[in-house]
Amino acid sequence: MSYFSKVLIANRGEIARRIIRTCHRLGIQTVAVYSEADAQAPFVSEASEAVCIGPAQAKKSYLDVEKVIQAAKQTRAEAIHPGYGFLSENPQFAERCEAEGIVFIGPSADVIKRMGSKLEARSEMQKAGVPVVPGSAGQIGSVEEAAALAEELGYPLMLKASAGGGGIGMQLVRDQEELEKAFHSTVQKAESFFNDGAVFLEKWVADPRHIEVQVAADRFGNVVHLYERECSIQRRNQKVIEESPSPFLDESLRQQLLEAAVRGVKEMGYTNAGTMEFIFDGDKNFYFLEMNTRLQVEHPVTEEITGVDLVEWQLKIAAGHELPLRQEEIKKAGHSIECRLYAEDPKTFFPSPGTINQLQLPEEEVRLDFGVIEGSVVSPFYDPMIGKIIVHGTERLEAIKKMEQALAEIEVQGLKTNLPLLESIMRNDQFKSGDYTTQFLEKTEILS
Amino acid sequence: MPSTKSQVLSPIPGVFYRKPAPDKEVFIKEGDAVKSGDVIGLVEVMKNFYEIKAETDGVLESFLVNEEDILDAGQEIAVISVQ
């Protein structure tokens, strides 16, 4: 059964290739849009059709709403898959699709807007009985108001921009002096980066774990979860390694988390696939952090343990079908780990664009979601992630062993990658024990 | 005393910015005095911002690239005249 006859993919690299793969398996034609810098990229030749939408800089191509809409109209695509990043969480883009009669493969513009505001998301989750980090209920208008609130909540606190994301627009404050210093600059940053100066205060959770829940919802009010993903191995607030199930959760805590996530999603009237992000403190209390209203980079670990193709579900839901499975029919088996291969220095994390002169990849017992092939140019204009290595084992240590094996077979020449870091993490005893937090890469001397 | 010229190069490829944010003033204007270590611009590479700093005291004589120009690694960004 086909859900659409032609889908445009408003993205690039590995995720464009991954979406094309599922579309073609389902007999759906695909349209790639690409910038001048990506003309030779594999996703462009793999799509059924391709349209160049402008120069290398993302804001003149991949972030240009009208150029993407124009490409969809010109190729008569019925739907647009936004992937992750770029326009995927832009409510104006979802609205423009709707206005043109093109299906946006994701939730409604209204839900994207509400979840894009951290303050609004917090208050909706509280209403649904989902725990949020203790903090201020609404926008803080002045530095005096912030100081009074801070006294009530108790330091240390995080001062956050309501519209912020990706680690931008948040500042740790440990006392009143730091709060007074940070207040105006955070408001200013929020205004210039996100065009919304609203800020609020949250208790600072020391040394947290980051665990998220994959959810899916259809237009008929059915909401399911597809278990959790453990994403605590991060550098610069960005994930490096993800796994499912989380080694931190026991069955009862897992059930509490999954139920909370589903409760929250029901409350907001969500449709399509999405991710509820939570942090856990050292006492195993969990708090809602934010919702990502799109497909996640790390979705393959969920696919590996459940056997579900999440992109197929997205297409199906967007086409107006019911969820393919009921909650009790979604089973999981084994353990999956994903490593993100970044073109960057493994110690300093500094980006390393260049040409991949040589690329050797493992062939067995591994899933490779890569945006590049041998000879590809990794340009300075986009994210440094060049591919993902995903393994599945019957239990965690077997999965780690398989990952070690897969990484050992990879060779990239021509630019620096974080491969040595990934290999060291797989051999690290603390990682193997499963007892790690988001501070792991900062606190542990992994590469000597 | 005769002045010598010192070039400021970009060590990395990327997109050049003279301002810290779109709605802000430029870091430095042509003709302004500059000290070693002063930030004169940013290069955006793979969603990271790299600060371009002066490596000598002097006067920033001219910029050789414009706002949002695409740079190659090693490209000249500006000329500083050293007294």
pLDDT at residue A424 greater than cutoff 70 = yes
Angle at A32 between CA A27 and CA A36, to 5 degrees: 160
One domain for residues A334 and A393: yes
Report chain B residues whose CB lies below 8 A from the CB of A56. Answer: 70
Average pLDDT over residues A122-129: 94
Q: What is the least distance, in Å, from the CA of A417 to any CA of chain B? A: 13
Structural tokens at position A249: 């959760």
A95 and A182 in a single domain? The answer is no
At residue A190, does pLDDT exceed 90?
A: no
pLDDT, residue A448, reads 65
B14 and A380 within 8 Å at the Cβ level: the answer is: yes
Q: Are residues A143 and A68 in the same domain?
A: no
Does the pLDDT of residue B30 top 90, yes or no? yes
**B interface with A, Cβ–Cβ below 8 Å:** 12-15, 21-24, 44-48, 68, 70
Q: Which two tokens stand for residue B20?
A: 């810290």
The domain that holds B33 is classified in CATH as 2.40.50.100
CATH of the domain at A31: 3.40.50.20
**Residue A229 shares a structural domain with residue A330:** yes
Whole-complex ipTM: 0.78
**pLDDT value for A117:** 92
> How does residue B29 score in pLDDT terms, banded at 50, 70 and 90?
very high
User: What average pLDDT does the segment A215-231 reach?
Assistant: 97
Strand blocks (E) in A222-330: 223-235, 238-244, 272-280, 286-292
Residue A166 confidence (pLDDT): 65
For residue B47, give the nearest of A56, A193, A383 by CB distance.
Answer: A383
Do residues A425 and A338 touch, judged by C-beta distance below 8 A? Answer: no
When CB atoms are compared, the residue of A57, A192, A343 closest to B23 is A192
Q: Which of A236, A294, A340, A427 is catalytic?
A: A294
Neighbours of A433 (CB within 10 A): 9
Claim to verify: residue A330 and residue A436 sit in the same structural domain = yes
Predicted confidence at residue A1, as pLDDT, reads 55
Higher pLDDT: A193 or A242? It is A242
- E-assigned strand segments in A103-174: 103-104, 157-165, 168-173
What is the least distance, in Å, from the CA of B83 to any CA of chain A? Answer: 35
| Residue B1 confidence (pLDDT) | 56
- Residue where a domain stops, chosen among A65, A89, A105: A105
Question: For residue A418, is it left (φ>0), alpha (ψ between -120 and 50) or beta?
Answer: alpha
Q: Say if residue A219 is in the same domain as residue A173.
A: no
**Average pLDDT rounded to a whole number, residues A59-69:** 96
In a domain, A127, yes or no: no
CB contact under 8 A, B13 and A383: no
Give yes or no for residue A95 having a pLDDT over 90.
yes
pLDDT of A200 over the 60 cut = yes
Whether A383 contacts chain B with CB within 8 A: yes
Least confident of A29-38, A190-199, B23-32, B34-43: A190-199
A230 shares a domain with A170: no
Is residue A155 predicted with pLDDT exceeding 60? Answer: yes
User: Which residues constitute the domain of residue B78?
Assistant: 4-82
How close does chain B come to A380, measured CA to CA in Å? 5
Is A294 an annotated catalytic residue? Answer: yes
User: Could you tell me if residue A117 is inside a domain?
Assistant: no
Could you tell me if A80 and A153 lie in one domain? Answer: no
Question: Quick check: B46 and A57 CB within 8 A?
Answer: no
- Residue A70, both tokens: 């124009």
Distances (CA, A) of A330 to A245, A260, A445: 14, 18, 39
Query: What is the predicted pLDDT for the residue at A189?
Result: 83
Phi, then psi, of A209 in degrees rounded to 5:
-105, 145
Lowest mean pLDDT, pick from A53-67, A163-177, A354-368, B4-18: A163-177
Nearest-Cα distance to chain B for A264, in Å, is 32
Asked if A351 and A380 count as a contact pair (C-beta separation under 8 A), the reply is: yes
Q: Are A293 and A400 found together in one domain?
A: yes
Q: Which of A203, A234, A250 finishes a domain?
A: A203
Total domain count for chain A? 3
Mean pLDDT value across chain B: 92
- Ranking A210-214, A355-359, A427-431, B19-23 by mean pLDDT, the lowest is B19-23
Is A115 part of any domain? no
Per the CB < 8 Å rule, is A383 touching B46? Answer: yes
Closest-CA residue of chain B to A343:
B46
Dump pLDDT digits (tens) for A240-278: 999 999 999 999 999 999 999 999 999 899 999 999 999
- Assign residue A219 the CATH number of its domain: 3.30.470.20
The predicted structure's pLDDT at residue A447: 81
A310-327 mean pLDDT? 97
| pLDDT tens-digit readout, A364-383 | 999 999 999 999 999 999 99
Q: Is residue B3's pLDDT more than 80?
A: no
- The answer to whether residues A379 and A267 belong to one domain is yes
Clarify whether residues A289 and A432 are in a common domain.
yes
What residues in A contact B23, CB-CB < 8 Å? 192
Per-residue confidence (pLDDT) for residue A93, from 0 to 100: 98
Shortest Cα distance from B66 to chain A (angstroms)? 15
> What residues in B contact A61, CB-CB < 8 Å?
none
Answer whether residue B81 shows pLDDT above 60. yes
Q: Is A407 helix (H, G, I), strand (E, B) or coil?
A: helix
The answer to whether residue A124 is domain-embedded is no
Average pLDDT for chain A: 95
Q: In which domain, by residue range, is A141 found?
A: 134-203
Of A162-166, A219-223, B9-13, the one with minimum mean pLDDT is A162-166
Whether residue A379 is contained in a domain is answered as yes
Q: Minimal Cα distance from A383: which residue of B?
A: B46
Is residue A419 situated within a structural domain? yes
Number of domains in chain B: 1
Residues A304 and A380 in one domain: yes
Q: A136 or A312: whose pLDDT is higher? A: A312
**Nearest chain B alpha carbon to A342:** B46
Output A195 or A91, whichever has higher pLDDT.
A91
Q: In the listed set A170, A203, A236, which residue is the last one of a domain according to the structure?
A: A203
> Given CB atoms, is A351 within the 8 Å cutoff of chain B?
yes
